[in-house]
Amino acid sequence: MGLDWNDLWSAVALVLVLEGLMPFLVPAAFRRSMAQMIRFSDGQLRSVGLVSMLIGVAVLFFVR
């Protein structure tokens, strides 16, 4: 059960595709959301990042 580099690069590519969807499809909403995030404190941003990571780990756990 080793690291498959193709899977890793596929995952990175998928992240880039998903992150590009919002600015491509609804740039005005994306700009507003980024402006709102600038107002978040460091603690709030860390909380958002932690929740995002935990959801990602949970999805990986159930998918794999």
Q: Which residues form the domain of 18?
A: 5-63
Task: Please tell me the predicted confidence (pLDDT) of residue 2.
Answer: 67
CB 30 within 8 A of CB 23: yes
Backbone torsions φ then ψ of 21, nearest 5 degrees: -60, -50
Task: Please tell me the predicted confidence (pLDDT) of residue 1.
Answer: 58
- Whole-prediction pTM: 0.70
Dist CA 47 CA 26 (whole Å): 25
Task: Please tell me the predicted confidence (pLDDT) of residue 64.
Answer: 80
Q: What is the pLDDT along the chain (64 residues), one digit of tens a residue?
A: 567 888 889 999 999 999 999 999 999 999 999 999 999 999 999 999 999 999 999 998 998 8
Number of separate domains in the chain: 1
